[in-house]
């Protein structure tokens, strides 16, 4: 398992947090996704042999939020 933190812009409420968490948890290989509105980031545990950080970032962007590199 790998853990990554992804900074996210555009989350304004708990509904946004729940949306990001839901899209991340649907990705095969993701075992846990913790999303913080206050820190504007997601901490994700995932299996790198199944998915990649690039795929995680793309899912967040597809949900309508911006990833900050």
Bridge partners of residue 46, in order along the sequence:
2, 30
* Alpha carbon distances (Å) from 20 to 2, 12, 31: 19, 12, 14
CATH 3.30.70.100 corresponds to the domain 2-68: yes
Q: Are 44 and 30 in contact (CB under 8 A)?
A: yes
Give me the residue spans of the domains in the chain: 2-68
Q: What is the pLDDT of residues 5-49, one digit of tens each?
A: 999 999 999 999 999 999 999 999 999 999 999 999 999 999 999
Is residue 69 very low, low, confident or very high in pLDDT (cuts 50, 70, 90)?
confident
Q: What is the pTM of this model?
A: 0.91
d(CA 39, CA 48): 24
Q: Residue 65 above 90 pLDDT? A: yes
The string of DSSP codes covering 3-46 is EEEEEEE---SHHHHHHHHHHHHTSTTEEEEEEETTTTEEEEEE
């Amino acid at each position: 398992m790998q853990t990554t933190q992804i900074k996210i812009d555009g989350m304004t409420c708990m509904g946004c947090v729940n949306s990001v968490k839901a899209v991340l948890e649907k990705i095969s290989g993701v075992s846990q996704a913790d999303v913080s509105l206050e820190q504007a980031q997601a901490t994700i545990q995932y299996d790198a042999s199944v998915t990649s950080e690039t795929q995680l970032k793309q899912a967040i962007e597809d949900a309508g939020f911006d990833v900050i590199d």
